[in-house]
Each structure stands twice: as structure tokens, then as C-alpha cells.
Amino acid sequence: MDCKHEIAVGVFMLAGLACLAWLTVKLGKMEFVSRQGFELSARFDSASGLRVGADVEIAGVPVGRVINIALDPDPIRTQAVIRLRLEKDFQLSEDSIASIKTSGLIGDKYISLSRGGSEKTLGSGDTIHETESAVDLESLIGKYAFGGV
């Protein structure tokens, strides 16, 4: 009888650990198996505050994630190169605009896409050329405080 209780407690503990691991993965927005889709890149003058795993949205609807943030290897350009993975059925015209936005006043950064009017669409590995970096509130406040505006 004592052995049955130990087995029940062990099964209960394993189920609890499995639930905790699942919650950690879901809340941390981690992906062990990459979802199907295609990748695009975009160059920004500043990617300050943007993190890998941030949402990519169009009209407020998530359509992908940021999968990599790196500095452009070209020494002449000082830009951040952001790689995005978008849903496989999603189509984006070549003159679309990617902007780094903030959700709320002090919320997380995300990438907002605005569709263009071109009939040519971007494919896997292409680059979004029209980009807008996030507004740097600290530098604006500093300029205002010290009379730079």
C-alpha cells in the first residue's frame, strides 16, 4: 500500500513539472520547433529596445516574430539588420514599410508592417527597404531639457 502512494506522488510531481515546463515555454515565447513560414530582413538605423522573439504585426494582428538582431557586417553602414519570420501564407508587397513601435507608453517593442501598393511581393530571403526606427524618448527629453529643440 505504501508503494502505491509513492508512485501516485511521483506521477503527480512529474505532471506538475511538465505543466511548469509548458508554461515556461509559452510565457517565454520560446519555440523548439520552428513554425513554417518565410524569412525577410530589414535594416534599421536603431533597434534599441527590440528583442528576439518580439511580435511582427500588421493592423494589430501578429503575423510573425523577430528571429535575429545583428549589426550590419558592412563597416560603412552602421545599421541593425533584423531578420523576421512571417507566416507561410502571408504576402507582403515590395514597397511595404517596417516600423519599430512600442506597445503602450513604456511597453515592449514590436515591428509593425504597413502594406504597400506594389503588385510585386517579397519572397523568402528578400529585404524590406522602407523602414522607420523607434522614436528615442530619452534623446528627445534630453534635447528639450537642454534647449536643443
Tell me the per-residue pLDDT of 43-94, one tens digit each, with 9 for 90 and over.
Answer: 988 888 889 988 999 888 889 999 999 988 887 878 889 999 988 888 888 8
Contacting residues for 106 by C-beta, under 8 A, at least 6 apart: none
H/E segment holding residue 97: strand 97-102
Name the pTM for this structure: 0.69
Q: Are 23 and 58 contained in the same domain?
A: no
Q: Is residue 85 part of a domain?
A: yes
How confident is the model over 37-50, as pLDDT tens digits?
A: 788 999 988 888 88
Q: Is residue 81 part of a domain?
A: yes
Q: Is residue 21 part of a domain?
A: yes
Which of 128, 107, 110 minimizes the C-alpha distance to 58? 110
Q: Which residue is associated with the grid cell 557586417?
A: 73
Q: Are 16 and 64 contained in the same domain?
A: no
Handedness of CA 125, 131, 133, 135 (dihedral sign): negative
Q: Identify the domain containing residue 90 by its residue range.
A: 37-135
Residue 33: pLDDT over 80: no
> pLDDT-based confidence at 5, cuts 50/70/90?
confident
Domain count, the chain: 2
Q: Is residue 148 part of a domain?
A: no
Q: What percent of the chain has pLDDT over 70?
A: 87
pLDDT at 67: 92
Poorest-pLDDT segment among 59-63, 106-110, 127-131: 106-110
